[in-house]
Amino acid sequence: MARLFLGIDSGTQGVKVVALDEATKTLIAESSAPHELITNDNGRREQHPSWWIDAVSIALEHVLAADGVDRSSVAGIGVSGQQHGMVCLDAKGEVIRPAKLWCDTETAPQARGLTDAIGGNEAVVAATGNSMAAGFTAPKLAWLKENEPEAYERVATVLLPHDYLNFWLTGEKKTECGDASGTAYFDVHSRTWNPMILSAIDPSGKLEACLPELIASDAPVGLLRPEIADRFGLSESVVVSSGGGDNMMAAIGTGNVVPGVVTTSLGTSGTIFACADHPVVDPQGELAAFCSSTGLWLPLICTMNVTVATETVRSLLGKSVAELNQAAQAAPAGSHGVMLLPYFNGERTPALPEARGVFAGLTPSNMTPDNLCRAAMEGATYGLRYGLDVLVRLGVVPTEIRLVGGGSKSRLWRQILADIFGCPVVCPTTAEAGALGAAIQALWCRRQYDGVPIEIGTLTQEYVGLDPTSRVEPDTNNQHIYEDCYQRYLDLNAAARFLYG
């Protein structure tokens, strides 16, 4: 009987679940369910972890009930989760408060305070390989200690979002180096928790005892709890793999597991990342020197506003997604001089967590819906180009961009990205890279568990395909236009640093 492997991807907007057939190397079922979001004007972005479980349960049941899915053939589950979130449990394993998310910028003062306490950005980067970004987990814990001391006193365990879903599935409190490296209290060189950073948050030493056990990327977290197995009609022998952050799982799901491949995601946030066989640390702290969820490293740039920009403009103008694309297509490259700094949620790269969105270059004649729609796509892509320049500065030279995320469905946006990046763009055949990557990692882990190990690169060659119909090449004429526009973007960024830095 062919075995099935389930991939769960729990993101900011919702959950996706897929079922991967080991024998046919295809996804035979998939489903999704949405999340709500708690927000305020001070940068708060939170979710109740129970919402994640509810959404996973809905999507998982739909997949297991799909035609061709035999519940008894499920052999493994992998979980991909939004990075950096803070999930605090009490001594009974109960959630204490809503989880603060990666896009929460309410913690910006704590990020600055911790950076200063440790001796500045260079000292932080030297200690961990990463700067103290407002979205990372460390400043969230400092915020909790300062603003909700009674809740902080109850904290017995600190988990990341994917760790919490693994805990729900298995009852085990464990994590792996990929997702752990986005906490800002993990050293990517030694692959261990950093006691100096933890002590800067809380000198009492409490936090070290609250952290989960670190396991290898190809190791299982555990087996399904009997209650979960019974609830979904699965075997208690189902292995739950280590899982990882959404970017780490998307790397697996796009075949980005060997040096030389670059992936870009056009999702709520934007990411651009590569695979490396050594830590890639940026002395300026703009690049995230993450570990991968395959035992290697994942140098990554994150911007916080990609489809946020297009969705905000689309909502303002009352357009559908198709109408937004049609309007953007009607405007020329450069949007007749209209430019958007899309910092609606603040920004991580460049580091402007308290910045706000800015339209610039407006005149009575160019302030049209078409130009606003295209400027939203272009502005989000300029931010990613800034990140690409950081990667290039540190020695990563892309020859092809593998593009995922909701924005990748737009051929126009793919062309804009190819023109601004100056590099060919292609999409994987499976759009749900995070969920697919989680399923492939589960298969990798199960092979290891069964005593028949296989290289992760061999698996991605077999299970990850590219869609030739999605490929676009840079347009030389537009490249010249966008080089000038990008320089204007850099000038606007300098002004934003003055206003919001």
Q: Is the pLDDT of residue 260 over 90?
A: no
| Chain region(s) in the chain for CATH 3.30.420.40 | 84-159+174-211, 255-431+465-501
Chain centroid to Cα 362, Å, comes to 33
Q: Is the pLDDT of residue 36 over 70?
A: yes
Strands 192-193 and 186-187, sheet pairing: antiparallel
Model confidence pLDDT, tens digit, residues 266-300: 988 899 999 999 999 998 888 999 999 999 999 99
Model confidence pLDDT, tens digit, residues 467-476: 999 999 999 9
Strands 192-193 and 297-303, sheet pairing: unpaired
**Long-range contacts: 388-393, Cβ < 8 Å, 24+?**
388/272, 388/301, 388/421, 390/282, 390/286, 390/287, 390/301, 390/349, 391/262, 391/272, 391/274, 391/287, 391/299, 391/301, 393/282
> Which three-class secondary structure state does DSSP give residue 88?
strand
For residue 377 the two structure tokens come to: 């796509």
| Cα angle for residues 106, 182, 268 (degrees, 5° grid) | 60
pLDDT computed for residue 382 by the predictor: 97
Q: Residue 471: what residue type?
A: R
Model confidence pLDDT, tens digit, residues 178-203: 999 999 999 999 999 999 999 999 99
C-alpha 81/C-alpha 466 separation (Å) is 24
Instruction: Name the nearest CA neighbour of 460 among 273, 216, 257, 299.
Output: 257
Q: What is the set of active-site residues?
A: 246
Label each residue of 318-361 as H, E or C: CCCHHHHHHHHHHCCCCHHHCEEECCECEECCCCECCCCCEEEC
pLDDT computed for residue 284 by the predictor: 85
pLDDT top residue among 406 and 337: 337
* CATH 3.40.50.300 applies to domain 84-159+174-211: no
| 0.95 exceeded by pTM | no
User: CA-CA distances (angstroms) from residue 91 to 88, 125, 158, 209, 228?
Assistant: 10, 33, 11, 12, 22
Q: Is the pLDDT of residue 419 over 90?
A: yes
Q: Give the DSSP letter of residue 219.
A: S
| Topology, domain 255-431+465-501 | Nucleotidyltransferase; domain 5 (3.30.420)
User: To the nearest whole number, what is the mean pLDDT of the chain?
Assistant: 95
